[in-house]
Amino acid sequence: MTHSLYEKENLKHLNKLKDLAPEQLQAFSEFNTAVFLEGALTKKEKEIIAVAVAHVTECPYCIDSHTRKAKAEGASLEELVEAVFVVAGVEAGGAVTHSTHMKNANNPEADDTLYARSNLKHLGTLRRYAADGFKGYSNFSSAAVKAGKLSAKFKEIIAVAVAHATQCPYCIDVHTKNAVKAGATKEELSEAVMVTSALLAGGAYAHIANMIQSYVE
């Protein structure tokens, strides 16, 4: 029995899928290929988004694979690091914005709708009771999407993709509006979300290798 759950060697088990589930494997392969075709977003941009989303799914196989593919498409290490900081900013924002539910939970008169845009008016509660931390978050969130090696527009596109992976409706709403304001098109945003879809599916796909490894041990 191996002592590490994450050995690259585990991926050899994926070769068995052509016998275990050939139809599903074929459909997944075609889906994944279609998502990463050049479109409104370049292959390089899609691979950068993939690296970002892989840090949400925390799939080491995906991080490794898409980092290599992004590098091959011309992405620099600085660009990839900036993309992952967008992930960190969005994930931090998800926790911050969901604090509004904590406020509602303590209010017996709160509306039954859990996800109302108006909930965000309660962010002042977090700012009031954790002022230093909230200020630090605000500064970090702004820095994460500030133009650098990647443009502010592309960082907001990444943020929209990431928000669909974290499934935070507040983040989807805020960053979609920010992306459009920065000049992102419907096509670019749609393609970015499809990269998220492929990465979520890909994380499950890659981890089949671990399931097979555990089954045969």
Whether the pLDDT of residue 1 is over 60: the answer is no
Is the confidence at residue 175, as pLDDT, over 60?
yes
Q: What is the reported pTM? A: 0.92
CA dihedral 125, 127, 131, 132 (to 10 degrees): 140
pLDDT, tens digit, 9 for 90 and up, residues 39-79: 999 999 999 999 999 999 999 999 999 999 999 999 999 99
Within 10 Å of residue 2's Cβ, how many Cβ atoms? 11
SS3 167: coil
For helices 186-216 and 169-181, angle between their N-to-C axes, nearest 10 degrees:
140
**8 A C-beta contact, residue 54 and residue 195:** no
Domain positions in the chain are: 41-106+115-216
Pure H helices in the chain: 17-20, 22-35, 43-57, 60-72, 77-105, 123-129, 131-144, 152-166, 169-181, 186-216
On whether the 41-106+115-216 domain is CATH 2.40.50.140, my answer is no
Contact 76/108 with Cβ under 8 angstroms? no
Output the pLDDT for position 24.
Answer: 97
Which residue reads 């527009």 in tokens? 153
Which contacts (CB < 8 Å, 24+ apart) does range 25-31 have? 28/201, 28/205, 31/198, 31/201
pLDDT in tens, 125-144: 888 999 999 999 999 999 99
